[in-house]
A and B are shown apart, each in its own frame.
Chain A
Amino acid sequence: MKDYYLKNVATLLLDDNRCTSCGMCIEVCPRDVFKRNGKRVMIVDRDACMECGACMMNCPFSAVRVNAGVGCAYAVIKGAITGEEPNCCCSSSGKNTCC
């Protein structure tokens, strides 16, 4: 069973002009967001996207864009307090861990 979080929030974008349909994004996505439809690769389940950024990192043609980050409330709070981008809460200082 696939769990879904909030609808219509994922920032994932696929640039069809750059995409060569190589399929690397399908391979790395842990949430089955991309599918091959005929020849072309497309986004079929954007709401499942957890914004991990794996597709963007591994697309050899820079065709995917997504605001990657961790979906962790604790990290967002900490980021707001320290003024940094929300980072994974397993900080190297090592006290607070959420994942």
Chain B
Amino acid sequence: MDDSKSTLCSCCDERGQVESETCRKNEPVTFLFPMYKPEIHEEPQVVYKDNQQNPSIFLYDFVIDSIDTPSGRVPIVDTNLRFKDLIGSWKVRWGIGRMNYRVIPGIYGIGRPDETSPVFVTANYKMSFDRLRKALSGLNAWILVLDTEGINVWCAAGKGRFGTDEIIRQIEKTGLKKIVSHKVIIVPQLGATGVRAHEVKARTGFKVIYGPVRADDIKIFLAEGMKAKPYMRSVSFGFVDRIVLIPMELVQSLKYIAIFFVIAFALHLTGIIEITFSHIYPFIGAVIAGCVVVPAILPWLPGRAFSLKGWILGFLWAVAVIIMNGSLNRLKVTDIFAILMLLPPISAFLSLNFTGASTYTSLSGVKKEMRIAIPAIITSVVIGLITGITGFFIRQ
């Protein structure tokens, strides 16, 4: 999506000045919903001079003030999230325009920061940034936003984008050495996967202290003298952590449901078979079991492999379908067998996909699981289809 240009009107581009009021009035609304204003997109439109912020940084409506530092003017951001920010997070959860949800990399201030204030490093994924500024309310601090292409800290660190080189680049680009007198930066612990603390220290003089995993623990972390307690270090994957992932899983599985509907509709049109609700709901149920129910009740499902957890739930659903359909019309043995072979692998495959969103699966483990699960899933589906089709023609 390249609506980035339309969000920056020409007056700011040319003069590089902040006239946010006039700018917003000229801003063409290119969005579907008129009450929306598009995010101001990354991609600096202005060439950087030495240690100068990209002027469009001051246009954000979460920028409430600015402060002059030996390294140029720095925007001060609001620590209250507004309705627009919250709507933004909601859109992200549902996978709407997710990849464009970023902020301009560089340095931002919180409160009235001075040269002794702590420096927090984060990704330029808007949600990471929002969570951090909210957690810093009431403090005086600096936020150093790395260019992670709008990806969150954990994923960007895994790709090395949130990493040693990018930290060093932003330290130099923002002139951090002139802004603060101390030599410490606080990096979220989940960024450690991409950062070599000793290398940052050797190349810039800045010592990396790993902060808590959750931004909400930052105040306690500071109060303890920048020491993260053990509970701040470990990643939790509790009920709420899993629930918020469900919309994304659901959106991704919509394509499977769509494919199924197309096939079912095509079959219906050919007149070979009359597709009714009793053909459709078992599949939708199996998809929901795999991408909604499994994430919700993950730890309580037996087994360690995700596909096994999904298969068990899918099997229970298949049994339920047999009971429900059986009470409506008589099911043949081939139908029952086909249901048992077709539905559980659908749930199994979708829960296998949830490994990516979980916070404790390892690559070696996933590879091992897939070596067994994928052939089993394919075999089961093939057998199920053959039985179902054979049964259908025998009945004719």
The proximity string for B residues 291-315 relative to A, scoring 1 for CB distances below 8 Å and 0 otherwise, is 0000000110000111000000000
Which residue of A has the minimal Cβ distance to B231? A32
**Bound complex: CA A28 to CA B190 (Å):** 8
Selected contact of A5 from candidates B189, B194, B304, CB within 8 Å: B304
The DSSP consensus for interface residues of chain B is helix
Cβ < 8 Å to A, chain B residues 341-396: 352-353, 355-370
Beta-carbon contact of B233 and A73 below 8 Å: no
Beta-carbon contact of A73 and B362 below 8 Å: no
Beta-carbon contact of A53 and B366 below 8 Å: no
**Bound complex: CA A92 to CA B98 (Å):** 12
Q: Smallest Cβ distance from B334 to chain A, in angstroms? A: 31
User: Is B159 positioned at the interface, with any CB of A under 8 Å from its CB?
Assistant: yes
Beta-carbon contact of B192 and A9 below 8 Å: no
Q: Which residues of A contact B237 (CB under 8 A)?
A: 3
User: Is B52 positioned at the interface, with any CB of A under 8 Å from its CB?
Assistant: no
A4 and B360 in contact, given A71-B366, A73-B353 (Cβ under 8 angstroms): yes
Q: Which of B95, B158, B248, B353 has the most CB of A within 10 A?
A: B158
Q: Smallest Cβ distance from B34 to chain A, in angstroms? A: 26
Q: Smallest Cβ distance from A98 to chain B, in angstroms? A: 3
Q: Smallest Cβ distance from A44 to chain B, in angstroms? A: 13
Beta-carbon contact of A67 and B364 below 8 Å: yes
Q: Which residues of A contact B305 (CB under 8 A)?
A: 6
The proximity string for B residues 120-156 relative to A, scoring 1 for CB distances below 8 Å and 0 otherwise, is 0000000000000000000000000000010110110
Q: Smallest Cβ distance from B192 to chain A, in angstroms? A: 4
Cβ < 8 Å to B, chain A residues 1-32: 1-7, 9-11, 24, 27-32
User: Is B333 positioned at the interface, with any CB of A under 8 Å from its CB?
Assistant: no
Beta-carbon contact of A75 and B356 below 8 Å: yes
Interface-side segment among B195-203, B263-271, B321-329: B195-203
Which residue of B has the minimal Cβ distance to A11? B364
Beta-carbon contact of B149 and A53 below 8 Å: no
Selected contact of A73 from candidates B98, B210, B213, B355, CB within 8 Å: B355
**Bound complex: CA A72 to CA B364 (Å):** 10
Beta-carbon contact of B158 and A3 below 8 Å: no
The interface on chain A, measured as residues whose beta carbon lies within 8 A of the other chain's beta carbons, has a size of: 49
Selected contact of A30 from candidates B98, B189, B304, CB within 8 Å: B189
A98 and B356 in contact, given A51-B364, A71-B362, A88-B158 (Cβ under 8 angstroms): yes
The interface on chain B, measured as residues whose beta carbon lies within 8 A of the other chain's beta carbons, has a size of: 52
Q: Which residues of A contact B193 (CB under 8 A)?
A: 52-54, 57, 68
Beta-carbon contact of A73 and B352 below 8 Å: yes
Beta-carbon contact of A24 and B197 below 8 Å: yes
**Bound complex: CA A90 to CA B127 (Å):** 15
Beta-carbon contact of B360 and A50 below 8 Å: yes
User: Is B225 positioned at the interface, with any CB of A under 8 Å from its CB?
Assistant: no
Beta-carbon contact of B192 and A58 below 8 Å: yes
Q: Which residues of A contact B234 (CB under 8 A)?
A: 2, 30-32
The proximity string for A residues 60-99 relative to B, scoring 1 for CB distances below 8 Å and 0 otherwise, is 1000000111111111110000000011111010101111
Q: Which residues of B contact A89 (CB under 8 A)?
A: 356
Selected contact of B360 from candidates A48, A60, A69, A99, CB within 8 Å: A48
Q: Which residues of A contact B304 (CB under 8 A)?
A: 4-7
Beta-carbon contact of A73 and B366 below 8 Å: yes
Selected contact of A10 from candidates B192, B198, B210, B362, CB within 8 Å: B362
Cβ < 8 Å to A, chain B residues 204-221: 210, 213
User: Is A42 positioned at the interface, with any CB of B under 8 Å from its CB?
Assistant: no
Q: Which of A9, A73, A86, A89 has the most CB of B within 10 A?
A: A73
Q: Which residues of A contact B194 (CB under 8 A)?
A: 57
Beta-carbon contact of A31 and B360 below 8 Å: yes
Q: Smallest Cβ distance from B102 to chain A, in angstroms? A: 11
Q: A9-B364, A87-B159 are in contact. List 7 more A-B contacts (CB 8 A).
A: A71-B355, A71-B366, A75-B356, A87-B158, A92-B151, A94-B99, A99-B356
Interface residues of chain A, those whose CB is within 8 Å of chain B, are 1-7, 9-11, 24, 27-32, 48-54, 57-58, 60, 67-77, 86-90, 92, 94, 96-99
8 residue pairs of the A-B complex, CB under 8 angstroms, read A9-B368, A11-B364, A28-B210, A48-B360, A72-B366, A88-B158, A90-B152, A97-B95
